[in-house]
Each structure stands twice: as structure tokens, then as C-alpha cells.
């Protein structure tokens, strides 16, 4: 089975064509509007489409996703209803500035310390444990294919000496999609890859068992979740997800209690810590 790339995101490179801005997706018979919305929301949330930037034209989106103009317009309408974009007649559709106004948000600043990362993991344990149970009850053959692809991409990333962050996030994103409840997927798209602890903490580099064994263990936990979803065992899926995220939390707690952590704003100091200091916060995502 061939690997599938991480969910389609628009990149901010100026002058790039649409085919370069959006990575290929596995074609699905349903949810075409949601796929376009998910792609654009993820790009906006993760900063690949910035406030004030113009979205590709309707015709470009139609061609890239092989959908009708009606589907594209419905997707754009959903984005407008969420106050993410605005359409200026005769000009195009543009990304809006986010509205703070007391709305819930989690930003990069909320991952400044190891304690912050642990706090977000605790939130994820509550949300993703239930998402895994719903996914086991509702998953479709297309969902299973997407999960299998994410698992294979994770293993490929390990073999290529990567931190495997994109396929890690993809796996959790596909579980959210498998719930059949768009709010789970919307929340995951909003949070983006920064929810993966090793984008903020050097867990991979400092794992006592070494990088390869650490990532293999993480993917093994993913496989346990997948098998429960495959077998439509809701309780096993919940238990496997809780175990997976709790293991991550406990690894961070043990490292934090054993060693002095460095703040994200001081990467130079973090770089000077010894290879046995775990975990240290870092800007490096690879």
C-alpha cells in the first residue's frame, strides 16, 4: 500500500501554483465540502495562509479537488460563517484577522514550558479518548485506509531519520475524522501539529532508549489504537488512546522532575544542556 501525504495544507510561498500549494488527497465519495474546508482551515490555523492573503480562485479549487462550483461555494460559505474568510465581490476571498474577543484559543505561547505541554496533553486525553471510541463505532473503509496510510507514513519517516511529526499528527487527525463529528476534526485542525509534544520538547533526542526505539514505541501505541478501531471495539479503542497519551504525559513528567527544563524563549541555553537532560524545550521540529 502506498503512503499518503499529510492532510492538504496551503503553503505561503509566493507565486506557487495551486498544485504546489495543496498536497494530493485520497479521493472519498462523501464529504467533499468537509475535505475542502478541513484543508483551508488547517492552512489558516497553522499560518500557511495568513490574514489578508487571497485564497485560490474557485476555478483553481474546483480543478485541484475535482469538484463542482457548488461544492466549492458551499465550502467557502462555511468558512465565511466561521469568520475565517470574507469574499469581496469581483476581487476574491481573503483570510480574516482572528477575533480574540474572549474566544477560546491555544497558541504557540501556550506551549512555552514543559508544564504547558503537559496541560495540553491532559486536555487531549479527555477529548481524544472519547474520539477513539466514537471512531471505533463509526469508522468507514475509507477511514481505515487513511489510518493505515498514516501508520505506514510514520514508519517511513522513522526509516528516513525524521521525527515523524506530520504522520503522527495525521494519525490523530484521521481518528478525529473517523468520529463522523466534524467538531473533533475542526478542533484538531485548529490545534495543528504543535499538539505533538516533540515539536516543543526534545523527547526524541533525549529518550533513554534512543530515537529509533522511542519512535517505534510511539507507533506501536498507534497500532494498538488502530487495531481496536479496526475491530470496532470501542472500549479497547478508548483504553488504547488513553494509554498512549498518558504514556506521553508521564514521560514528560519524569523528565521534568529529574532535570531542569529550559524555557522555549531561551533556545541557546537549551542547546548547551547535556544530551542526558530530558526534556528540554526547543524550536526544532525535526
Range(s) of the domain holding residue 125: 108-272
For residues 127 and 219, the answer to whether their CB atoms sit within 8 Å is: no
Tell me the C-alpha to C-alpha distance, in Å, between residue 207 and each of 133, 244, 246, 253, 276: 30, 16, 16, 13, 8
- 140 and 257 inside one domain: yes
Per-residue pLDDT of the chain (286 residues; tens, 9 = 90+): 444 444 444 444 444 445 444 444 544 434 788 889 888 888 888 778 888 899 999 999 999 899 999 999 988 988 888 788 998 888 889 998 876 545 667 777 777 788 888 998 999 999 999 999 999 999 999 999 999 999 999 999 988 888 888 999 999 999 999 999 989 988 888 888 888 887 777 665 556 667 788 899 999 999 999 999 999 999 999 999 999 999 999 888 876 765 444 444 333 333 333 333 334 444 333 3
Instruction: Flag whether 226 is in a domain.
Output: yes
- 169 and 64 inside one domain: no
Instruction: Flag whether 9 is in a domain.
Output: no
**Domain containing residue 79: CATH number:** 1.10.10.10
pLDDT of residue 79: 87
The separation between the first and the last C-alpha atoms of the chain, rounded to the nearest angstrom, is: 26
Angle value at C-alpha 36, between 32 and 39, nearest 5 degrees: 135
Q: Is residue 246 exposed (0-12), middle (13-18) or buried (19+ Cβ within 10 Å)? A: middle
The structure's pTM equals 0.57
**Domain containing residue 171: CATH number:** 1.20.120.530
The closest alpha carbon to 73, from 32, 18, 30, belongs to 32
- 168 and 49 inside one domain: no
Instruction: Flag whether 58 is in a domain.
Output: yes
Instruction: Flag whether 236 is in a domain.
Output: yes
For residues 273 and 280, the answer to whether their CB atoms sit within 8 Å is: yes
How many structural domains is the chain composed of?
A: 2
- 117 and 228 inside one domain: yes
The closest alpha carbon to 171, from 1, 32, 3, belongs to 3
- 85 and 173 inside one domain: no
Instruction: Flag whether 286 is in a domain.
Output: no
Amino acid at each position: 500500500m502506498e503512503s499518503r501525504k499529510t492532510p492538504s495544507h496551503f503553503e505561503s510561498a509566493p507565486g506557487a501554483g495551486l498544485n504546489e500549494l495543496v498536497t494530493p488527497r485520497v479521493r472519498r465519495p462523501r464529504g467533499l465540502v468537509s475535505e475542502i474546508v478541513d484543508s483551508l482551515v488547517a492552512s489558516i490555523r497553522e499560518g500557511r495562509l495568513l490574514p489578508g492573503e487571497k485564497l485560490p480562485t474557485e476555478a483553481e479549487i474546483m480543478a485541484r479537488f475535482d469538484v463542482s462550483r457548488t461544492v466549492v461555494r458551499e465550502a467557502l460559505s462555511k468558512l465565511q460563517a466561521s469568520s475565517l474568510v470574507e469574499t469581496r465581490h469581483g476581487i476574491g476571498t481573503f483570510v480574516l484577522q482572528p477575533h480574540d474577543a474572549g474566544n477560546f484559543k491555544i497558541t504557540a505561547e501556550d506551549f512555552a514550558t514543559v508544564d504547558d505541554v503537559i496541560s495540553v496533553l491532559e486536555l487531549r486525553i479527555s477529548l481524544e479518548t472519547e474520539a477513539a471510541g466514537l471512531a471505533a463505532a463509526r469508522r468507514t473503509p475509507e477511514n481505515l485506509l487513511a489510518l493505515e496510510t498514516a501508520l505506514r507514513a510514520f514508519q517511513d519517516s522513522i526509516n528516513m531519520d525524521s521525527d515523524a511529526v506530520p504522520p503522527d499528527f495525521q494519525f490523530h487527525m484521521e481518528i478525529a475524522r473517523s468520529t463522523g463529528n466534524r467538531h473533533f476534526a475542526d478542533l484538531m485542525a485548529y490545534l495543528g501539529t504543535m499538539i505533538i509534544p516533540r515539536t516543543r520538547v526534545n523527547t526524541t533526542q533525549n529518550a533513554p532508549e534512543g530515537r529509533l526505539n522511542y519512535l517505534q514505541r510511539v507507533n506501536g501505541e498507534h497500532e494498538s489504537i488502530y487495531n481496536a478501531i479496526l475491530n470496532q471495539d470501542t472500549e479497547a479503542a478508548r483504553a488504547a488512546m488513553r494509554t498512549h497519551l498518558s504514556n506521553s504525559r508521564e514521560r514528560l513528567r519524569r523528565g521534568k522532575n529529574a532535570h531542569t527544563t529550559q524555557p522555549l524563549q531561551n533556545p541557546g541555553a537549551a542547546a548547551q544542556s547535556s544530551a542526558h537532560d530530558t526534556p528540554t524545550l526547543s524550536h526544532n521540529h525535526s
